[in-house]
Structure 1
Amino acid sequence: MRMIEVCFVTKAWRAGAAWVAQMTVQAIAEQGASVAMIAPLAEPSTREPRHPNLVRILVGRELTEGGTGLTRALASLRRVVGTWRAVVWMRARTRTYVFSIPDPLIFTLPLLIVLRLSGARVIFLVHDAVPHAFRFSGVLRSVELATHKLSYRLANLLIVMTKALRDELVEKHGLSSAKIVVIPHGAFKIEPVAPCPGSGRFFLFGTFRRNKSVLEAIKAVILVRRSDPSVSLMLAGEPHPHELDYWQECQGAMLMDPAAFDVKVGFLPDEELPAYIVDVDAFLLAYRDFNSQSGVGVLAGLAGRPVIGTRAGGLSELFDDGLSGIQIEGPPTPESIASAIRAFRVQPIDHWRHLASHAAVKLEGALSWNAIAMRYLGFVRRD
């Protein structure tokens, strides 16, 4: 039976977190290493990694639409059971596992303990030090935090995508910096998109949640339109399931100037993205309290679009790597975001087309999947 150098485990199957796992696995296989992946089938199927060096083990998807509470719970339970079985079965063929966006920690922590007791090496790809939105409050909040800290301590190695997230894990969770390595977010593959059109339209894409300052961005656009009525904002994505009240507040704010906003609520498939991006001049990423990498920021840069954003977390490092755009000065308030939009609009669109085109080339080189794969293999092959 052929031995496998590394096995990736994730419950993610669509959107940014899934793409990172899928493309990392593909790149590792292309480097000549043997790799396994335990995860649901990718959506779209074109993102599914395929290579002779890859052992692919499919588990069920969670239900994101339709179904009763019971059918949703049963679908998730089938995925959990399938993942457990696959991970344990793979133990005879591999020593090293990489977990990224795993099943809920109530199920994952026992699995990590079993693996460590068996002599396996566990690498945890940490996207966020703590959840963007907590499931629980009060006493249960402290339990939720404790489970995250325990998952980090059970891992042999933690991989993060930004220096800011590494520093947060060290400072707030008391972890040793020697246990944490930074490997950047790779370059997403998207269809070519025409240069910025000069439409005055901006794009807020992804999960709608408080730390993306969605409400402040909406209010900022309303402020800007008092003197520049051609400005508008397109919003596409899904409200965070634990912050639905926040999304209701955002919807209420948009009623103050309905003509300023074009909203698509729901998951945006890969094949639809270019049609949205082609109509916008820049992405609006007013993040705060954020130390992770921004997959949306990476997507924007590679699509030849500038970013109007803060320097929170990975956005700071993307700007340093060549991402074009305007940086929001100070905390992301309606006024500071509006000021950044006005500064963007002062420059002719040809200026932004030129900068964004060069930024896309720089980012593609800085975020090479082949280089990322070799970094992973360096840790996997370490004795």
Structure 2
Amino acid sequence: MDDLILSIKKRVLFPTVFLLGLITWLVLCRAFYHSYWEGTIYRVQTVDFNLLHHVLPATLSQLIVADRDDLIQKVLDANYGIFGLAVTDSQGRSILYATRNIYSSNPERKNLTVEDLSRQTEPADWLCDPPPLEPQWRHNSASTPKAVRLGSKPPGKILGKVYYLRQEQPTFERDLYSFLTTCFYDLSGSKRGYFFISLMTFGFSLIAILLIWLRRRGLELKQQELEHVSRELELRKRALDQLSAELTVQKARKFWLEREAEESYRRALNLKQALEKLRDSINPESQQGRQALPPAGTSIKVRPPVHPPSAILEEIEALIPELDRSANTLKSQAGLLHDYCAMLEQRQKEMQRIVQEASEDFGMSGPGMLDMKAG
């Protein structure tokens, strides 16, 4: 779902939401149309007809017997044209009275005819003299489509029939077109429902656009954060590689210095031993030279040595501590280098641990995002 949100472009988002909102609006309007006309209006008229079955035949029969045509027309027009009422002769061949201005959504509707009365689903009541006191039809409930006969033809002289005409149900297209062309000035009947459905659909569309935009913005920020973490992880890996290379170089240098220090130490020891041997070899020769000197008082002169043995020995004795110090210095440098290499190894382990933790956190937080970006 997140991949789909990120893949949707802004120029596609609004038309898509508008199209989905329009389809949803039409579906809801269609459902409301059936609920209003085939549910609410039909049941309300069923209740009205059930009431008229009980009272209207007696009232009209009395008015016909009294020859009060004016009152008969007023009774038929008392429903304001919401549904129709018509009175015919006893044979049902001609319409004597009918409701004026019966509501119809069809502007081309023709005048009421006898054929229209014969197509009505609601049964007609007999008008007779004396007026009938018992109802001839009744509905068991408001949702019952057919009326139930309660008795046979009433006794007395038949004066005519009264027919009940249900309100003409407009088509869905005509009803919706009427709502759109009224510019929201007339919100009576089904138009009120269409108006609230329009507001609800428009509001949900705006909320959907806002939520998608916020989710998209959040995903983009998260993707940027993941890219930043990825770059930082890459830099840490490079630093780790450089540290590993430096550690390798330092290890090689350490090995070379240790070997060089060992060789220098061996050379110093060999030189020390050679000097000690030279000193030992010089001491007997000096003693023998002193023994070979002529006795005192003779005229023979012995030439003194160019370098007295004592001076050479002193120089040798002075070189030996210097060589020891040089060897010790090399050893101490090798020890410092060993400590430095150990510190580099510790830093390498710490860097590996940090990179591993960052890799695990990065893999848990957004592997799918990086895979999508790589793809």
Task: Give me the TM-score of the superposition, normalised by structure 1.
Answer: 0.20
- Flag the structure with larger Rg: 2
Structure number with the higher strand fraction is: 1
Structure number with the higher helix fraction is: 2
Considering Cα pairs closer than 8 Å and 6+ residues apart, tell me whether 1 or 2 has the greater RCO: 2
